[in-house]
Amino acid sequence: MADSVNTLPFFYGNITREDAEDYLRQAGMGNGLYLLRQSRNYLGGFALSVSYSGRCYHYTIEREPSEMYAIAGGKSHRNPVDVIDYHSQEMDGLVCLLKKPCNRPRNMQPKVGPFEDLKEKLIREYVKQTWNLQGAALEQAIISQRPQLEKLIATTAHEKMPWFHGIITREDSESRLQNGSRTNGKFLIRQRDTNGSYALCLLHEGQVMHYRIDRDRTGKLSIPDGKKFDTLWQVDTMISCIFKCLVTVVISPSEAMPMDTEVYESPYADPDELRSSTVDRSHLFLEDGELGSGNFGTVMKGIYKMRKTEKSVAVKILKNDDNNPSVREEMLREANVMQQLDNPYIVRMIGICEAENLMLVMELAELGPLNKFLQKNKQTSIKNLTELVHQVSMGMKYLEEHNFVHRDLAARNVLLVTQHYAKISDFGLSKAVGEDQNYYKAKGHGKWPVKWYAPECINYFKFSSKSDVWSFGVLMWEAYSYGQKPYKGMKGNDVLQMIESGKRMDAPLNCPPEMYDLMRTCWEYKADIRPGFAVVEPRLREYYYDIAQ
């Protein structure tokens, strides 16, 4: 496949997103002008770059396990050319039809990537040593077995890289990085164990940071809940441009994915900490001062003593004033939903404590609600904003996959553990939906956050993951407007009339056009046209990683 794609005049090889945009600009940026390039993230994958209305859009074409090719969430095809032919007739999620190829300049060959440089040499070495072949027999073996050989070599190519140090201890990795020049961005990758787990060890400000790289059941690698890759050398490509030595420039660790630390892992990641739905009051210590309050009562900060460790926690305490049974039922219903969820980007429920009051003990996110944080921190970068909304999309994708509808997704219900780590909270309105019926039908209007609700919620009381996607679009608007209130000065009925007339909120000041386009996609009037989080999350992920590099 790679050889046939190389002959396409509009295939540019291993160029960057920025290079692709430059070529499209040089060719006039006509609507539907496109080029094809090699994916830097997916083994055997490609990226499609398209111009429309003076902007550039980028779509990943992944190679599926079946050897078919597809844009995330789209129809599968035999090869990238068929993908392009299809999208020249059908938009199917693209911003426009593909109309005209942007061919390479005369005498320019597709750019060869770092793995391609190594590939031929490694394939020849492998066939020569393993099968003891030479000459014409070697060439014939390479031709007949090329797809299998490329896949095999790709999964072992990292062993030839100078930054791969094999099985060494955490202490050894720190010693090696501290030895010699102590440049920010100096790194190595070590093998943690024999189960296919690795660690990226990165020097920053004199300290070594350790990022875990896991292998999932399908064999893909990722920093936990981050973008997945087929091979270890692709993980490195994501973090940095590969140089021939250890010293390189990488994403600042303060802006990277959450690290392998206690704040990131589940409180019950240690098997010795047996998970229980209840919390012993004698192990729970409340601190002075409220974190917040509401109709239910107050939220206090506390310390929960577990078997091996202590956890800082948030404790939601039911007030006893009127002993309202409906409020108690609401809290218990929220606890029941939260106890079924376990994801790094969702506030985890630790347990219920029945003592002087009913208490819900949850993970603590000290920086508080996203909207309030952004109102006070307007210097927050676009990259940081995108990082946070992408994390929210990962949490929502998890809910979608597990058939839960949130029904109250808004920036006020996204809590920050750090400036670079967000968690979805407040599951008081959440509902589980059946696999055979992917929506929840409410009996009537309640105290609903109408400005965050999709039209079908207000008109037909119908809630689904697609209505959560609408709310997510509003949340994105809140984030890129630094915590402003959506539809400011408008009442609920006015908002609904505006939506029914086909109008939508304008883009926030300095909002990236790609992100506003995604918001508009989330605000498609018809739920069946609106994308799910299985489509929204990859688009955000692609954009975030592109700007993070």
Q: What pLDDT is attached to residue 259? A: 34
Q: Which single residue is written with the structure tokens 């039908």?
A: 441
**Number of independent structural domains in the chain:** 4
Q: In what order do the strands lie in the sheet with 207-215?
A: 164-167, 187-191, 198-204, 207-215, 221-222
Q: Is residue 251 part of a domain?
A: no
Read off the pLDDT of each residue in 518-530 and give the average, rounded to a whole number: 94
Residue 234 CA to residue 246 CA, distance in Å, equals 16
Verify that 414 and 538 share a domain, yes or no: yes
Verify that 356 and 385 share a domain, yes or no: no
Paired tokens of 544: 């975030």
Residue 298 CA to residue 292 CA, distance in Å, equals 6
Amino acid letter, residue 54: G
Verify that 125 and 150 share a domain, yes or no: yes
Distances (CA, A) of 186 to 162, 176, 247, 373, 468: 12, 10, 5, 32, 41
pLDDT tens for residues 46-97? Answer: 999 999 989 899 888 887 767 789 887 678 899 999 999 999 999 887 889 9
Catalytic annotation on 272?
no
Residues facing residue 156 across a β-bridge: none
CATH number for 402:
1.10.510.10
Question: Positive or negative CA dihedral for 461, 462, 463, 468?
Answer: negative
Question: Positive or negative CA dihedral for 154, 160, 163, 165?
Answer: positive
Instruction: Report which of 35, 40, 90, 88 is spatially closest to residue 62, judged by C-alpha positions.
Output: 40
Which of the following is catalytic: 225, 230, 408, 468? 408
Decide which of 192, 208, 243 is a domain's last residue.
Answer: 243
Q: Is 510 exposed, middle or buried (0-12, 13-18, 19+ CB in 10 A)?
A: exposed
CATH number for 123:
3.30.505.10
Owning domain of residue 133:
114-243
Three-state secondary structure string covering 108-147: CCCECCHHHHHHHHHHHHHHHHHHCCCHHHHHHHHHHHHH
Verify that 292 and 416 share a domain, yes or no: no
Instruction: Report which of 278, 367, 366, 263 is spatially closest to residue 311, judged by C-alpha positions.
Output: 263
Paired tokens of 538: 């990859």
Q: Is residue 222 part of a domain?
A: yes
Paired tokens of 68: 């078919």
pLDDT tens for residues 100-138? Answer: 999 999 889 998 875 565 666 767 777 777 777 878 887
pLDDT tens for residues 431-460? Answer: 666 555 566 767 666 678 889 999 999 888
Three-state secondary structure string covering 464-483: EHHHHHHHHHHHHHHHHCCC
Q: Is residue 145 part of a domain?
A: yes
316 labelled binding-site residue: yes
Strand, helix or coil at 492?
Answer: helix
Verify that 374 and 356 share a domain, yes or no: no
Instruction: Report which of 258, 265, 211 is spatially closest to residue 235, judged by C-alpha positions.
Output: 211
Is 80 exceeded by the pLDDT of residue 147?
A: no
Residue 257 CA to residue 226 CA, distance in Å, equals 7
Q: Is residue 254 part of a domain?
A: no
pLDDT tens for residues 401-442? Answer: 888 889 899 999 999 988 989 999 887 777 666 555 566 767
Decide which of 329, 348, 363 is a domain's last residue.
Answer: 363
Amino acid letter, residue 114: P
Verify that 473 and 373 share a domain, yes or no: yes
Considering only the C-alpha atoms of the chain, give the largest distance between any 2 of them, rounded to a whole number of Å.
89
Verify that 6 and 70 share a domain, yes or no: yes
